Amino acid sequence: MASQTYVDNMKLRQSYQNLWHVDLMSTMTADCPYCCLALWCGPCVSYMLRKRALYNDMSRYVCCAGYLPCSGKCGESQCPEFCLCTEVVLCFGNSVSSTRFLLQDEFNIQTTQCDNCIIGFMFCLQQIACIFSIVAMIVGSDEINDASQSLSCLADFAYWTVCACMQTQHKIEMDKRDGKFGPSPVMAVPPVQQMSRIDQPIPPPVGYPPEPVYGQPYGYPPPPQGGYPPAYPQAGSHPPPGYPAGNR
């Protein structure tokens, strides 16, 4: 049941849309002093980052941030500080990954392809070094033993370097969360704009009324249809219907 929940959480993180404030390749240039601190004092930095990720509220602490089957079963409620110390010392890699998952789930941060390649290379190098060590132990060859030792040193260097970069990435992300980069500008949604079209109705005139037509005073009724009124009737003839009585 716990493993299925872990798989569901991993699939859910693939749909996240936000990105880290700084990617793994840029952490050294973004905060070099903190990256060196995370390299030489990894467990101490992991302790500080987990506590900061929990907003310094240790009552919310759960072993490995609740992502492992042992979470919630190690007496965290009685002595969370001691349990966190034990986690970062005995399970350093899990402590770094748990803080990472905690931040990703809080801010909907996805893991980029570049980050996946770096982390995957670290894991593959560790596996290759382990295989070479087993082969060297079975065969007993000095050359293979020397190669396995070199690979183990390279794998350890990659592991501690990647963990230091990850922890620096977490620290910068929480700096952004806590407003240490300044308030982010609020972008207002622009109003909806409509493009001009030929078939749109002509808007009503704005300003003064139009000038009257020449020959007709403004405000007078228009002349009767057909132009001038009919001529006077001939003597002895009856005026047409509708002709004014005063003109007879």
* Residue at 226 is within a domain: no
DSSP string, 26-88: GHHHH-HHHHHHHHHSHHHHHHHHHHHHTTT-GGG--GGGG-STTTT-S-TTT-HHHHHHHHH
* Residue at 75 is within a domain: yes
Q: What are the pLDDT tens digits along the chain (248 aa)?
A: 555 666 676 677 777 889 999 988 899 999 999 999 999 999 999 999 999 999 999 989 998 888 777 777 877 888 899 999 999 999 999 999 999 999 998 899 988 888 889 888 988 998 998 898 888 888 888 888 888 889 889 999 999 999 999 999 999 999 999 888 766 544 343 444 444 444 444 545 444 455 555 554 444 455 555 555 555 455 555 555 555 555 44
The mean predicted confidence, pLDDT, of the chain is: 77
pLDDT of residue 39: 93
The whole-model pTM stands at: 0.67
pLDDT of residue 145: 85
* Residue at 208 is within a domain: no
Closest CA to 144 of 158, 157, 128, 156: 128
Range of the domain at 125: 22-177
d(CA 197, CA 64): 61
Residue 146: how many CA atoms within 13 Å on its side-chain side? 3
* Residue at 109 is within a domain: yes
* Residue at 139 is within a domain: yes
Q: Count of domains in the chain?
A: 1
